Amino acid sequence: MRRVVIMLLGSLSLSAMAATGSWSDTRHGVTLQNRGVMMSSAALAATNSAPVRQRTSATITSISWKVELLGARPAGLQVQLCNTQNHCVALDAEGGMTKSFYGQAAISPLRFVYFVPGAGALNTPLRVVSNQVIVNYQ
């Protein structure tokens, strides 16, 4: 019986070490007026008081994102989500989830990058109302 209790306590401490969590951030978006110009959002990051800041070895398991546009999506719009190591993932919708950053540092800030190919002014400027990420980590 004592051996079972010791094994249970050991497995509990391993579970605590592998604890999971999440952080989220939302920022105002960008206004893109011309084709052929790449614009980056402000950095989205965990707050200084977020528990992930105390777990510098925490790694990403998945990221959910949401982009809110004001008006219609311009033809050819390309949106990417990037981290500070220039690892970028193309986003094909205005919201979703990706595991493409799996295993990377959970405290790394993220940015959205917007681009409409071509040249000249957009008929209606692209206005991104907000950018949001939810980073799940272990």
Residue 13 forms part of a structural domain: no
pTM, rounded to two decimals: 0.83
Number of domains composing the chain:
1
Determine the straight-line distance between the first and last CA of the chain, rounded to whole angstroms: 32
Residue 121 forms part of a structural domain: yes
- Report pLDDT digits (tens) over 13-72: 444 445 599 999 999 999 999 999 999 999 999 998 899 988 889 999 999 999 999 998
Residue 8 forms part of a structural domain: no
Instruction: Sort 116 into a burial class: Cβ within 10 Å, 0-12 / 13-18 / 19+.
Output: buried
Q: Which residues pair with 23 in a beta bridge?
A: 135
Distance CA 51, CA 96 (A): 24
